[in-house]
Amino acid sequence: MAESRCNNSTSAAIDSSVEYARGAFKKVYKGKYTEGSRTGQPCVSKVFISGSVFENSYFQHEMDVVKKATEIVRAFNGLELINKRIVINQPEIWVFRDSQALTLIEPLIENFEKFNSNSGWTQDTTSWGQAMQALAHYSFHYSNGQLTLCDLQGGVYSDGIVLTDPVVMSTDRRFGPTDLGKDGIDSFFHHHVCNNFCRSSWTRPSRRMGLFPVVKGTTMMEVKTQTGRNLLTQRF
Ligand SMILES: [Zn+2]
């Protein structure tokens, strides 16, 4: 698909000795494809930090978010508001041969930058920054007010932009720990300023208020512990 940037490979060598980046619950390592049409090209390997409370659902949430983001980007590209392509990196779940641990593999993105966050931080001083704010606004309109695609980040190339690690916020909070729900959507639009790429016909939430501290990083929902329950390790 035109909106997808894929591994086109089944094998890579990952350098797990050096962390390339780290998020709140994942680590990123660099590597190179060793098979397929991308042989020799750089890739990244994302692994969840051991013991993370998100461990079990992490991969599935990532795949669900990317699938929904790709659908929204396809619709946005179809509007032809900009004359360059927006594509989304498509991660795949691969297995390390030695440890059998799972990892997400996707092509490396050059010239990485961030354009907005799920708490409403925005970079709209460049054309791409403005186009990304418009994409976020459009996602709400496209989904009939059910979703907002944000945390838009990636790399600008001569003929377009490649995005990775997006966040989808939903009214029913179905896209994992970075989905801040309706409060997140209303908060995002409290800070959104329409630009030349936005269309006046696009809908916005009727309630708009800042409910989260605005930060460039990705905000996650606190996971509530169930204090009434026994610990797994508790002895009787
Ligand atoms: Zn707008």
Q: What is the 3-state secondary structure (H, E, C) of the chain?
A: CCCEECCCCCCEEECCCCCCEECCCEEEEEEEECCCCCCCCEEEEEEECCCCCCHHHHHHHHHHHHHHHHHHHHHHHHHCCCCCEEEEECCEEEECCCCCCEEEEEECCCCEEECECCCCCECCCCHHHHHHHHHHHHHHHHCCCCEEEECCEEEEECCEEEEECCEEEECCCCCCCCCCHHHHHHHHHHHCCCCCCCCCCCCCCCCCCCCCCCCCCCCCCCCCCCCCCCCCCCCC
pLDDT tens column, 149-190: 999 999 999 999 999 999 999 999 999 889 999 999 999 999
CA of 137 to the centre of ligand 1 (A): 5
CA of 152 to the centre of ligand 1 (A): 15
CA of 195 to the centre of ligand 1 (A): 6
pLDDT tens column, 88-132: 999 999 999 998 888 999 999 999 999 999 999 999 999 999 999
pLDDT tens column, 5-63: 999 999 999 999 999 988 777 899 999 999 999 999 999 999 887 665 556 677 888 89
CA of 18 to the centre of ligand 1 (A): 40
The predicted structure's pLDDT at residue 51: 63
The predicted structure's pLDDT at residue 234: 36
CA of 220 to the centre of ligand 1 (A): 24
User: Could you report the predicted ipTM of this complex, rounded to two decimals?
Assistant: 1.00
CA of 134 to the centre of ligand 1 (A): 5
CA of 159 to the centre of ligand 1 (A): 24
CA of 47 to the centre of ligand 1 (A): 34
CA of 22 to the centre of ligand 1 (A): 31
Q: Is domain 4-191 in CATH 3.40.50.2300, yes or no?
A: no
Answer yes or no: is pLDDT of 145 > 70: yes
The predicted structure's pLDDT at residue 1: 63
CA of 68 to the centre of ligand 1 (A): 20
CA of 5 to the centre of ligand 1 (A): 27
The predicted structure's pLDDT at residue 195: 97
Task: Give the tokens for residue 2.
Answer: 């035109």
CA of 149 to the centre of ligand 1 (A): 13
CA of 16 to the centre of ligand 1 (A): 41
- 8 A C-beta contact, residue 14 and residue 31: yes
Answer yes or no: is pLDDT of 212 > 70: yes
CA of 200 to the centre of ligand 1 (A): 8
The predicted structure's pLDDT at residue 228: 46
The predicted structure's pLDDT at residue 224: 52
The predicted structure's pLDDT at residue 52: 58
Residue 207 pLDDT class (50, 70, 90 cuts): very high
